């Protein structure tokens, strides 16, 4: 079963705008991660947020985590055409961290128009 | 470093054939995993390994076998290919259990 579900399924914006993607999950987690996938390529890790963290930044990325609502959001600021990709959230369900057996959502396809 | 290398990149099989998807990593990672990605389904875990000689089943293990004789290699075997196994297969690895995974570029498999 899918642990994470991203929303929206697809998002189209103009270069320079901000993009926000949301992820909901069902069971308790140790951490939540966001990955990017360019067309025809493998997944690339973007950011990991642990269950005791509420917000994390990395460059133009901002991730929030609300464990009471079982949800997370990924914000990409000042988007670029190169940000065009699919974005996935992933959660682990093991004790003590088990990022080698992740559960992925279905992804959000982000298109950034020049 | 090459990272995680998957071969072949593309493969077409007939129903009933068997084959092995190769995955190798040169980062001395203990943890390795196989996922499949289907349209609209995200990635689903097939099998994983926490070290040489140790493997376990994931969410969708039926029809697949794995072994881990070395730290570097984690092959995935399709015993008797079925059209339902048409998918993109990704191998991933991580150094320790609570660190993010590194992914290969995938094997695109079609079964006729």
Please report the DSSP string for B49-99 in residue order: EEETTEEEE-SS-TTEEE--SSSSB--EEESS--GGG-EEEEEEEESSTTS
More confident residue, A67 or A6: A67
Residue of B nearest to A88 (CA): B42
B58 vs A contacts (CB less than 8 Å): 101
Q: What is the pLDDT of residue B1?
A: 63
Query: Distance (Å) from the C-alpha of residue A23 to the closest C-alpha of chain B?
Result: 13
Of A97, A88, A87, A75, nearest to A31 (Cα)? Answer: A97
Structure tokens at A93: 């369900």
Provide the pLDDT confidence category of residue A98 given band limits of 50, 70 and 90: confident
How would you list the strands of the sheet with A71-76, edge to edge? Answer: A5-7, A19-24, A71-76, A61-66, A55-58
Q: Report how far residue A103's alpha carbon sits from residue A107's, in angstroms, rounded to the nearest whole number.
A: 12
Q: Which of B34, B101, B104, B108 to mutate to test the interface with A (most CBs of A within 10 A)?
A: B101
Q: Is the dihedral of CA B62, B63, B69, B73 positive or negative?
A: negative
- How many cross-chain Cβ pairs, A to B, lie less than 8 Å apart? 73
Q: What is the mean pLDDT of chain A?
A: 91
Mean pLDDT across the stretch A57-65? Answer: 97
Query: Distance (Å) from the C-alpha of residue B80 to the closest C-alpha of chain A?
Result: 25
Q: Does A98 touch chain B (CB under 8 A)?
A: yes
Provide the pLDDT confidence category of residue A2 given band limits of 50, 70 and 90: very low
Burial of A1 (0-12, 13-18, 19+ CB in 10 A): exposed
**What is the widest separation between alpha-carbon atoms in chain A?**
44
Instruction: Answer whether B43 sits within 8 Å of A97, measured CB to CB.
Output: no
Provide the pLDDT confidence category of residue B97 given band limits of 50, 70 and 90: confident
Q: Report how far residue B111's alpha carbon sits from residue B81's, in angstroms, rounded to the nearest whole number.
A: 7
Q: Does B64 touch chain A (CB under 8 A)?
A: no
**CB-CB: which of A4, A42, A99 is closest to B103?**
A42
Q: What percent of chain B has pLDDT over 90?
A: 90
What separation in angstroms does the CA of B25 have from each of A39, B33, B62?
Answer: 22, 11, 25
Q: What percent of chain A has pLDDT over 70?
A: 92
């Amino acid at each position: 079963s899918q642990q994470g579900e991203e929303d929206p399924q697809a998002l189209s914006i103009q270069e320079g705008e901000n993009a926000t993607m949301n992820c909901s999950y069902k069971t308790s987690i140790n951490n939540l991660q966001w990955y990017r996938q360019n067309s025809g390529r493998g997944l690339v890790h973007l950011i990991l947020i642990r269950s005791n963290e509420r917000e994390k930044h990395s460059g133009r990325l901002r991730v929030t985590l609300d464990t009471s609502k079982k949800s997370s959001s990924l914000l990409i600021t000042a988007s670029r055409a190169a940000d065009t990709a699919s974005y996935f959230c992933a959660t682990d369900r093991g004790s003590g961290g088990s990022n080698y057996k992740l559960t992925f959502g279905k992804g959000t396809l982000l298109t950034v128009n020049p | 470093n090459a990272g995680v290398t998957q071969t072949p990149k593309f493969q077409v099989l007939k129903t009933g054939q068997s084959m092995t998807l190769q995955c190798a990593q040169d980062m001395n990672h203990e943890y390795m995993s196989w996922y499949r990605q289907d349209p609209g389904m995200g990635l689903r875990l097939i099998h994983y390994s926490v070290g040489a000689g140790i493997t376990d089943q994931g969410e969708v293990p039926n029809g697949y076998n794995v072994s881990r004789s070395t730290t570097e290699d984690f092959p995935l075997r399709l015993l008797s290919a079925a059209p339902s196994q048409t998918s993109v297969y990704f191998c991933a690895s991580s150094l320790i259990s609570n660190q993010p995974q590194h992914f290969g570029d995938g094997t695109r498999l079609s079964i006729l």
